[in-house]
Amino acid sequence: MLPHPPAAPPQAQVEADVARALVEDIGSGDVTAALLPDTADIAYLLCKQDAVIAGRPWFDAAHRALDPAVKIHWRVLEGDHVSAGTVLATLEGRSRCLVSAERTSLNFLQTLSATATVTASYVAAVAGTGTRILDTRKTLPGLRQAQKYAVRCGGGDNHRMGLFDTVMLKENHIRAAGSLSAAVQAARAQQPQLPLVVEVEDLQQLQEALAAGCERILIDDFSAGMRRDAVRIAAGRIPLEVSGSVDLTVVRAIAEDGVDFISIGGLTKHIQAIDLSLKLGPPPG
C-alpha cells in the first residue's frame, strides 16, 4: 500500500472518460438488462488474481452515472496489493443499473490496475537503488491522464503529460538546429518557463548537453559501458534518464549503474488486463 494514494485527475476528466465509454457500450439502451426486474439489489467485485488496484474513481463514476443513489463500499485503497480471491468492494443499487454499468466499470478498473501492477513490479525491482521509474507517452488513446494516474498508484512517477508541458529535444530537433547547443539555446529562448530534457546519442553529445544545461539528459539505448561512463562524466550535475530496451530482466542492473530515472513505455502499452468480475448477490463467506 502506498503511504498516500495519489490524487486522481479532475472529476470532470474522469466523468468525461466514463461518459464516452458508456455511450460506446450502451448506445440507445441496454436491451438485455431490460429483462431484469428494476429492483434494489446487491453485488460484489471480485479480483481473481494478484494485482495492484487502480481505477476506483472511474469504476465509481460509471455506476453513479446510471444510478446516482448507488452505494459502493470499498474494502481496498488505490495502490493496495491484493491477492487472488479478494473481494474489492460491495455495491447496493438498482439491478438493471448494476448490470448495465458492469462492463464499463470493469474495463477501466482492469486496465488501470494492470498498469499499476506492471509499474509496481518495476518499482520493486529497483528498490534501494535510488532510481525512479517513469512512464512515457505510449498510452492508450484518450486515457493519458488515467494511465499516468495508475502509474502513480503503482509507485512510479510521471514523465511529461504531453507535448505541451516539457520541451524534449531529440535527434531531429538537434539536426534541424545545426547542433545540440543551438537547439538548447533556441528552446530556452522560446519556452524559458518549461523544463528542458535533451536526448543524447553518444558521450560527446552528453558533454555538450552538460555544458549547455538542461533539467534532465536522456541517454537512449546506450551500452552498459557507455551508460556507466555517462554516470561518471555527469557526476550528479544533471539527472540522467535511461530509455529504450528496458524490461524486468535488465532494469535492476541499469539502476545499479547509478542513473536517476528509467522510463519504460511498457508500463502503459505492454499490459494484460487484470481478471475481475462483478457478481449480483452477497459476497461469499
Measured CA to CA, the distance from residue 201 to residue 217 in angstroms comes to 10
Q: Does 148 participate in catalysis according to the annotation?
A: no
Q: Copy the grid coordinates of residue 106.
A: 470493469
The label of the residue with cell 488501470 reads 112
Residues 94, 38: contact at Cβ < 8 Å?
A: yes
Continuous segment of H or E residues that includes residue 242: strand 240-243
Q: Does 220 participate in catalysis according to the annotation?
A: yes
Query: From the candidates 138, 144, 252, 269, which is the catalytic residue?
Result: 138
Residues 52, 81: contact at Cβ < 8 Å?
A: yes
What is the CA angle 116-54-132, rounded to 5?
35
Query: From the candidates 15, 75, 92, 103, which is the catalytic residue?
Result: 103
Query: From the candidates 170, 188, 228, 279, which is the catalytic residue?
Result: 170
Q: Does 170 participate in catalysis according to the annotation?
A: yes
Query: From the candidates 220, 229, 256, 275, which is the catalytic residue?
Result: 220
Q: Does 257 participate in catalysis according to the annotation?
A: no
Q: Does 103 participate in catalysis according to the annotation?
A: yes
Query: From the candidates 78, 80, 199, 257, which is the catalytic residue?
Result: 199
3-state helix, strand, coil in the chain (%, to 5): 40, 20, 40
Active site residues: 103, 138, 170, 199, 220
